[in-house]
């Protein structure tokens, strides 16, 4: 198997590490394979891939998700630099509603985070010139775009940057707190 699958504190969120086959030239690594993922119990059909670049450490993106009928699962990996990556359960009625998982993803560790439907996603860059690539199970649909305020104190996320030092878009600063969020997913 070219992938190792690890559980997280939230059962639906998974950490994956891809094997790297090294030689004198460098390495080759399968970072996604439909058949291999199905063998791991991950039956996902990715339809879009995004690439984000953040120039400075302390850049925060998120916490974002798309509501039904265009909800998305994400497979997130870092190809340069490192991030603190967060998946937040926004499925009202779920036993883990409002809880999150935070992990470091990096090009050095070559790990990925699977963020399922019903979870908001965000990250903070830990290094300058960080590049993140993520696959999505549905295309971008701005009419279904939602989010949660990244530094909502009720979430208890230990972001690696102080709020006043974070580089955050105006759009992300205006997102609602979790207790103000509409019910998009009901478990």
Q: Which residues contact 113 (CB under 8 A, 6 or more apart)?
A: 13, 14, 15, 16, 74, 75, 76, 77, 85, 87, 101, 103, 105
Enumerate the active-site residues.
64, 134
- Cα 37 from Cα 75, distance rounded (Å): 11
């Amino acid at each position: 198997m070219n992938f190792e699958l690890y559980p997280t504190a939230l059962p639906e969120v998974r950490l994956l590490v891809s094997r790297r086959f090294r030689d004198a030239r460098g390495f080759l690594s399968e970072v996604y394979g439909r058949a291999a993922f199905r063998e791991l119990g991950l039956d996902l059909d990715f339809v879009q891939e995004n690439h984000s670049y953040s120039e400075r450490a302390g850049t925060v993106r998120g916490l974002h998700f798309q509501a039904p009928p265009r909800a998305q699962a994400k497979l997130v990996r870092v190809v340069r630099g490192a991030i603190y990556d967060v998946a937040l359960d926004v499925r009202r009625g779920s036993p883990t509603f409002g809880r999150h998982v935070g992990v470091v993803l990096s090009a050095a560790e070559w790990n990925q985070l699977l963020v399922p439907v019903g979870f908001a996603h965000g990250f903070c860059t830990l290094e300058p010139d960080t590049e993140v690539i993520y696959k999505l199970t549905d295309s971008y649909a701005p009419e279904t775009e939602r989010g949660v305020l990244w530094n909502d104190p009720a979430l208890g996320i230990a972001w690696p940057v102080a709020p006043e030092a974070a580089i955050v878009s105006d759009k992300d600063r205006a997102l609602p707190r979790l207790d103000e969020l509409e019910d998009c997913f009901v478990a």
